[in-house]
Amino acid sequence: MSHRDPAHASILIEGMRKNRVRVTSPRRAIVQVLEEAEDHLDVEEITERAKKIDASVHRATVYRTLDMLKRLHLVDELDLLHLRGDRHYYEVRSGGQHAHVICTRCGKVVEPRGEIMASCIDRLAEATGHRIDFYRLEAGGVCPDCEASD
């Protein structure tokens, strides 16, 4: 999930420019889709949405653009524990670091962020001696709603 501040220019476009990556119209469309997404999108969904902005977007362009954005550490790739098959999901890293807790029954994804994650990462840093610059945390289990409907 991304949380774009409308007062700021696109963080992804800025990152691409800083790395001297050409900002083509299809890439701009893909970036817009990623930054406006309210949920976690896979390649199919990104392609479908980006096509509506720029009809010249193809799935191959989406794959290549995502690879480039991953390499530049601008976008994270998630598998959400493969509970919905083999798909991968993409989100903008600058959206604020958070974990993904996935319900193994209904597939609902909760995204803890802020204080709880900060203290979690502090303890991890303490235990390992590492300075933690970023993390990817996915956990699976039954959500309270599914548990209650047993």
Please give the single-letter amino acid code of residue 136: R
In the bound state with Zn ion, the residue whose beta carbon lies nearer, of 21 and 41, is 41
Q: How far is CA 35 from the centre of its chain?
A: 9
Q: What residues between 88 and 147 interact with Zn ion by CB under 5 A?
A: 91, 103, 105-106, 111, 143, 146
Q: Which is nearer to Zn ion, 40 or 61 (CB)?
A: 40
Question: Residues 6 or more apart from 83 whose CB is under 8 A from it?
Answer: 102, 104, 107, 140
Minimum distance, C-beta of residue 86 to Zn ion, in the bound complex (Å): 19
Question: Contact region for Zn ion (CB under 5 A) — 30-38, 67-75, 87-95, 122-130?
Answer: 87-95
DSSP letter (8 states) at residue 139: E
Tokens at residue 11, please?
A: 């963080």
User: Which residues of this protein are in contact with Zn ion, per CB under 5 A?
Assistant: 1, 91, 103, 105-106, 111, 143, 146
